Amino acid sequence: MTHIGERIRARRGELGMSQGRLAEAAGITASAVSQIESGAIRNLKSETLNRLVFALQTTALELTAGLGAEKQSLPADELLLLEAYRSLPESFKLIAHKLIKALQ
């Protein structure tokens, strides 16, 4: 049985994020991420869980119980685009949306 920290570590790995980058995106410390992933912290405040859900682009059910939609495998070129998009600052994501719409 996996705990929430293991699921957070796995999702972070899927996104290619470091602990530091996740901490920054979630507005928590890198030390907290490390403690959560190791299992030292297992009970999260709802605000912390929500921040992690948003930063990891997943759901609370996926993180807390491992319940979620089946992961679909994307072609390599789409994964590269998704990774690039996710690394953009929020202000640039709107520009990216508009650019893609213009290219269609």
Question: Higher model confidence: residue 59 or residue 26?
Answer: 26
Domain residue limits at 28: 4-65
For the segment 37-96, what is each residue's pLDDT rounded down to a tens digit?
999 998 999 999 999 998 998 888 888 877 654 444 556 777 677 778 878 888 898 898
Pick the closest to residue 33 from 52, 53, 13, 14 (CA basis): 52
* 9-19 average pLDDT score: 93
Answer yes or no: do 36 and 55 share one domain.
Answer: yes
> Would the pTM count as exceeding 0.85?
no
Question: What DSSP line would sit under the chain, residue for residue?
Answer: ---HHHHHHHHHHHHT--HHHHHHHHTS-HHHHHHHHHTS-----HHHHHHHHHHHTS-HHHHHH---PPPPPPPHHHHHHHHHHHTS-HHHHHHHHHHHHHH-
Answer yes or no: do 8 and 53 share one domain.
Answer: yes
What is the count of structural domains for the chain?
Answer: 2
Answer yes or no: do 61 and 39 share one domain.
Answer: yes
Answer yes or no: do 48 and 33 share one domain.
Answer: yes
